[in-house]
Amino acid sequence: MRTLVKNSYRAIDDGAYENKEERDYLHHDSIDLRNRIIECQNIPIITEIKYASPSKGVLADPMKVTVESIAQVMQNSGATGISVLSQPFLFNGSITNVYKARRASTLPILMKDIVVSEIQLKAAKKAGADYILLIKTIFDMNLTESTLETIIERARKIGLGVILETHTTDEFKEAMVMNKKYKQQNLIGINNRNLDTLEISLDTTKNILAENPKSGNVIISESGIHKGSDIAKLLAAGADAFLVGTSLMQDTEKMADGIKEIISSLNR
């Protein structure tokens, strides 16, 4: 975790979040991912564009498979939203990839990163993102420039929605309490990956939701989702939407079929 945080500060110092595009999306009307999930008539899937991961290494070559082409496949295949990695280190992401996805798609866009600074919020908005991911563990460890509440308030002020990511029952409970202030407008993520060991277990979502009522919150299960049977297990546990990335990026030629298989495998 500390390595990921260190990489974010390094990326900021390197100018990785500076606006290098001719156009920015500061006045882009944010697309409400929460409503899209609630109103979805099928399985709400947030598909993810990432070219590498700390656990799997390189997943795809951006010179051969462009962000624009991936975003279009995701949208045409029925995705509810698109997550785009903007962290350059270990994930081979960039803020430019968020721009490219925004230009290629009309779906809600999540800028997924290790957010530690308001600099990243401003970059997300300019790039056309509708949502950002905030990892509660990082804020609890006091590794960020501002408090979690301050970052959420700043994000909301500039028109960014928030997915507040949790990993444990205690984090989830605290996120639920915090979200009362925002009338359940923040989405709550449960990451099935242990960020220290990188091990994945879908039982993380199952166990957390078994112990805690959702109380009107929209819950996204993240990591380790590969097929329809995984979705069935997580739906039964109470998850509302599902973030799927690595399994799709590992075989981009079959991405469309993979998304459609997941979405059509179950009826809500």
Query: Does residue 145 carry a catalytic annotation?
Result: no
How far apart, in whole angstroms, are the C-alpha atoms of residue 206 and residue 180?
22
Query: Does residue 55 carry a catalytic annotation?
Result: no
Considering 165, 192, 217, 221, which one is annotated as catalytic?
165
Considering 112, 125, 136, 206, which one is annotated as catalytic?
112
In degrees rounded to 5, what are phi and psi of residue 191?
-90, 120
Query: Does residue 21 carry a catalytic annotation?
Result: no
How far apart, in whole angstroms, are the C-alpha atoms of residue 109 and residue 239?
20
How far apart, in whole angstroms, are the C-alpha atoms of residue 65 and residue 149?
38
How far apart, in whole angstroms, are the C-alpha atoms of residue 68 and residue 258?
18
Look up residue 87 and give its amino acid.
Q
- Structure token pair of residue 139: 């804020």
**DSSP reduced 3-state for 58:** strand
Query: Does residue 199 carry a catalytic annotation?
Result: no
Considering 53, 179, 186, 223, which one is annotated as catalytic?
223
Taking 3-state DSSP, the helix, strand and coil percentages for the chain, each rounded to the nearest 5, stand at: 40, 15, 40
Considering 77, 136, 222, 247, which one is annotated as catalytic?
222
Q: Which residues pair with 165 in a beta bridge?
A: 135, 189
Query: Does residue 112 carry a catalytic annotation?
Result: yes
Considering 7, 8, 48, 77, which one is annotated as catalytic?
48
How far apart, in whole angstroms, are the C-alpha atoms of residue 74 and residue 244?
11
Considering 83, 92, 191, 247, which one is annotated as catalytic?
191
Considering 8, 50, 171, 247, which one is annotated as catalytic?
50
Residues labelled catalytic = 48, 50, 112, 165, 191, 222-223
